[in-house]
Amino acid sequence: MYLAGDIGGTKTLLGLFEPGRPRPVERLTRSYPTNDYASFGELLAAFAHDVGERVAVHAAALGVAGPVIAGTARLTNIAWDIAASEVDAHFPTARATLINDLEAMANSIPVLDGGDFEALQEGEPQPDGNAAVIAAGTGLGQAFLHRVDGRLRPVASEGGHADFAARTDKEFELVRMLRERHGRAEIEQVLSGPGLLNIHRLTHRGGECEMVDGVPEADAPARVTQAGLTGRCQGCSEALRMFVSAYGAEAGNLALRGVATAGLFIGGGIAPKIIAALKTGLFMDTFLAKAPLRELLERVPVNVILNPAAGLLGAAVYAQDTARP
């Protein structure tokens, strides 16, 4: 049995998987609100209680939303420190590993099937090419998949915390606003749930908005998204268009950095919810606006990951690989 985890700033998925080639077989999965627990150890204890039996775990892999250094991690968007050794208290195993959450998601790409994707651009996938993953949710993650000996090997990054590159006058206004509020403008402050709210503050210029006024901040991005998709609120619609435009541009940047001729994959919780906005053409327009390499990007397959447990599945794939003798 393998223990897999996808530990995010808002939600944590934990699951048990049985061996399966190439895709591990899910036995059970539980979802927990991350902020309801004071520590990962407390959450893991709740999972062990829910499982209700002593499970023999041959390997464990936990995807965490933050950089992993020497088997430990401090989550970026929640005040948790996590160590791989914490797994042993409830699920003794010789192989427990922390990996970056986007590295975990990237591990799922080779085992997902056609029903797990929605294509934005069919492209011409190169069998010897690299790939890349970008995922906006509570934060923004990025990962590369380098082709090594015929196999895609995930490589973690913290690219979401790199500087945001403004392209339009409106985006330069956004950068100035973010610098005033945070001291710098990073990509995650634009491409995430909180990032959408930052854009919304700009499009409403500090004015009132019935969609978000009085709404808990955690619920506000969904309200802006819904109003933007339906056209109910002009400022929300403008914010969503800016978000989609910036998302496409950054996805194109990532595809260039990784020479992702085997595919660019869009994960995270936001993309499936705004698929109608992603398919208007705006996302792909900014994705492709990279002269002199537009032709290269026109051949890159671009797909939205629809499977909400892709990160958990990818962690299970990693655990299965490390459990091999």
Per-residue pLDDT of 181-211, as tens digits, reads: 999 999 999 999 999 999 999 998 767 788 8
Q: Of 26, 58, 60, which is closest to residue 44 (Cα–Cα)?
A: 60
Q: Residue 324's pLDDT is what?
A: 66
The mean pLDDT of the chain is 94
Residue 94 has pLDDT above 80, yes or no: no
Rounded to an integer, what distance in angstroms lies between the CA atom of residue 93 and that of residue 90? 9
Per DSSP bridges, beta strands 131-136 and 263-267 are parallel
Q: Of 76, 17, 64, 48, which is closest to residue 323 (Cα–Cα)?
A: 17
Q: Of 71, 79, 59, which is closest to residue 99 (Cα–Cα)?
A: 71
Domains of the chain: 2-107+309-322 (3.30.420.40), 113-306 (3.40.367.20)
Residue 325 has pLDDT above 80, yes or no: no
Enter the pTM of the model: 0.94
| pLDDT, tens digit, 9 for 90 and up, residues 134-143 | 999 999 999 9
**Average pLDDT of the segment spanning 254-279:** 97
Q: Name the more confident of 223 and 205.
A: 223
Q: Residue 226's pLDDT is what?
A: 94
70: tokens are: 């020497």
| pLDDT, tens digit, 9 for 90 and up, residues 284-296 | 999 999 999 999 9
Backbone angles phi, psi at 58, to 5 degrees: -85, -30
**Average pLDDT of the segment spanning 25-30:** 95
Q: Name the more confident of 278 and 232.
A: 278
Q: Name the more confident of 212 and 223.
A: 223
**Average pLDDT of the segment spanning 165-171:** 97
Please report where in the chains the tokens 């797990």 appear, as a residue: 116
| pLDDT more than 70, % of the chain | 99
Where residue 59 falls among pLDDT bands split at 50, 70, 90?
Answer: very high
Q: Residue 172's pLDDT is what?
A: 98
| pLDDT, tens digit, 9 for 90 and up, residues 228-245 | 999 999 999 999 999 999
Residue 55 has pLDDT above 90, yes or no: no
| pLDDT, tens digit, 9 for 90 and up, residues 4-21 | 999 988 899 999 999 998
DSSP for residue 164: P
Q: Residue 206's pLDDT is what?
A: 64
